[in-house]
Amino acid sequence: MKSWPLWCLLILAFITPLWASVVGVANISIHDALTIVCGSLGGGCEVDALKQRIWIELRLPRIVLAFLTGAGLALAGKVLQTVTRNPLADPYLFGISSGATFGAVLVIAVLGGQVSWGISAQIGLTGGAFLGSALSVMIVLLLAGRRVQIERMVLAGVATSFMFSSATSLVLYASDPQAASSLLFWSLGSFARATWGQMLLPLVILMVCFLVFLVYTRPLNAMLAGDENARSLGVEVHKLRISMLLLTSLLTAILVANTGGIGFVGLMIPHIVRRLFLQNQKHLMWVTPVFGGVFMVWVDVIARGLIDGHELPIGVITAALGSVFFIVVMGRRAWSH
């Protein structure tokens, strides 16, 4: 079992945020960054106040939120794929993304008349999105029946997605073009409004979910053997499945509510990680989120830096970058056999 890929990943996980923090419109070099850190820790370093503010209040929260989101979505995707034994499962299985978008649209449509300032409005948008995804999950679980059957659940999720998407489109059609464009931007994902305060809840939920998933690694892997085999190994299959579905939904919903619907990561990162870390299957439960987090930080850098003076939505880049990456990894493997 080779461990150098793991070390590579860990090193990358430390370097990437640092590098990402010195990329941006304002000219902040690594030297500046280190000076800021030194200054904040009371090391008596002379620091440009504006640069410090930008670095600490704008750049770092973005990077941390990007990492959290990437890690959370990748982890949710992995657990869902394991628990449903479906390699095409992703965190939006229950129409979570469409539900969140619909919730956000409703908030905008209902509260739109009041122009508000500050954090309370942001909470309104996030809250609405979260309620929307929660509603979607409830509908899917109701449709899936008492003993959760995977096929019914997947179908119910697809149907619910369509339902919320069409409702969203209708509301958008009837609203101001500026509002529609704003919502489109939100639904494609963005870390531009990251603040330290906003991150506490997602961080806590991610940590809790991660620990639970880590502890349940063995029973989760037993699910891969099939329901009957898993039961014969002592795993309470239905209970485990439902609780994992609910946990991943919670994790996904809180992330989507904060950052909008970023696609692709939850579906593809688990596959990419599995193929890249063939010899380290045991560690996938922590490797997947770390890889997802690093990936998302890169994506955010590209979103900020690709076009001068203009920010691209994250969802567009995750899809483009991730699919190319995946094709390369698959292609390599196909030809090496």
Partner 1 sequence: MIGDSVYEMSDNILSVEHLSWSVASGKRRILHDISFDIPSGAFVGLIGPNGAGKSSLMRCLYGVHHPQSGTVTLQGRDLFFLNARQQAQKISVILQEHASHMGLTVWDVAAQGLIPHKGLLEWETKQDKLRIKSTLEELDLWPLRHHEFESLSGGEKQRVMLARAQIQQPELLIMDEPTNHLDVHYQIDLMNRVKAMGISVLASIHDLNIAAAFCDHLLVMDKGRIIASGSPNTVLTENLVADVFHACVAVDRHPFMPNETPRITYAYQTKTQELNDRGES
Partner 2 sequence: MVALKNLFQILVGALFVCSFEARALPEAKDAQRIVALSPHSVELLYALGVGDRIVATTEFADYPEAANHIERIGGYHGIQTERIMELKPDLIVAWEGGNRSEDLALLASLGLPVYRSETKRLRHIADEVLALGKMTGKETQAQQLVQSFHQQLDELTRANKDKAPVTFFYQLWAAPLRTISTASWINEMLAICGGQNITTDTELGYPQVSLESVLLGQPQAIIIPSQHGHDNGEISGLDWNQWPEIPAVKNQHIYRINGDILHRFSLRVVDATQELCNTFDKVRQTK
Considering only 134, 222, 254, 257, the residue that binds partner 1 (CB under 8 A) is 222
- Amino acid letter, residue 171: V
Backbone phi and psi for residue 72, each to the nearest 5 degrees, phi listed first: -65, -45
Question: What is d(CA 324, CA 318) in angstroms, rounded to the nearest whole number?
Answer: 10
Q: Which does 119 bind (CB under 5 to 8 A by kind): partner 1, partner 2, none?
A: partner 2
Q: Which does 218 bind (CB under 5 to 8 A by kind): partner 1, partner 2, none?
A: partner 1
Under the criterion CB under 8 A, does residue 176 sit at the interface with partner 2? yes
Under the criterion CB under 8 A, does residue 111 sit at the interface with partner 2? yes
Interface size with partner 2, residues (CB under 8 A): 45
**Closest separation between CB of residue 102 and partner 2, Å?**
15
Q: Which does 224 bind (CB under 5 to 8 A by kind): partner 1, partner 2, none?
A: partner 1
List the Cα angle 234/236/239 in 5-degree steps.
Answer: 165
CB distance 322 to 269 below 8 Å: yes
Question: What is d(CA 26, CA 77) in angstroms, rounded to the nearest whole number?
Answer: 35
Under the criterion CB under 8 A, does residue 218 sit at the interface with partner 1? yes
Question: What is d(CA 70, CA 23) in angstroms, rounded to the nearest whole number?
Answer: 19
Question: What is d(CA 95, CA 117) in angstroms, rounded to the nearest whole number?
Answer: 31
Running DSSP on this structure, what letter comes out for residue 59?
A: I
Question: What is d(CA 62, CA 259) in angstroms, rounded to the nearest whole number?
Answer: 11
**Closest separation between CB of residue 151 and partner 1, Å?**
15
For 124, 158, 221, the CA distances from 293, given in Å and listed in that order, are 26, 27, 23
Nearer to partner 2, 146 or 310 (CB): 310
CB distance 90 to 77 below 8 Å: yes
| Piece of the chain touching partner 1 by CB under 8 A; list 38-46, 64-72, 233-241, 293-301 | 233-241
* Residues 6 or more apart whose Cβ sits within 8 Å of residue 229: 222
Interface size with partner 1, residues (CB under 8 A): 26
CB distance 239 to 311 below 8 Å: no
Q: Which does 85 bind (CB under 5 to 8 A by kind): partner 2, partner 1, none?
A: partner 1
Under the criterion CB under 8 A, does residue 127 sit at the interface with partner 2? no
Considering only 5, 17, 39, 124, the residue that binds partner 2 (CB under 8 A) is 124
Considering only 6, 37, 109, 138, the residue that binds partner 2 (CB under 8 A) is 109
Q: Which does 169 bind (CB under 5 to 8 A by kind): partner 1, partner 2, none?
A: none
Q: Which two three-digit tokens encode residue 101?
A: 């978008």
Question: What is d(CA 277, CA 4) in angstroms, rounded to the nearest whole number?
Answer: 10
| Piece of the chain touching partner 2 by CB under 8 A; list 38-46, 83-91, 158-166, 305-313 | 305-313
Under the criterion CB under 8 A, does residue 333 sit at the interface with partner 1? no
Q: Which does 42 bind (CB under 5 to 8 A by kind): partner 1, partner 2, none?
A: none
By CB under 8 A, name the binding residues for partner 2: 24-26, 49-50, 53-54, 57-59, 107-109, 111-119, 121-122, 124-125, 173, 175-180, 182-183, 185-186, 190, 192-193, 304, 308-311
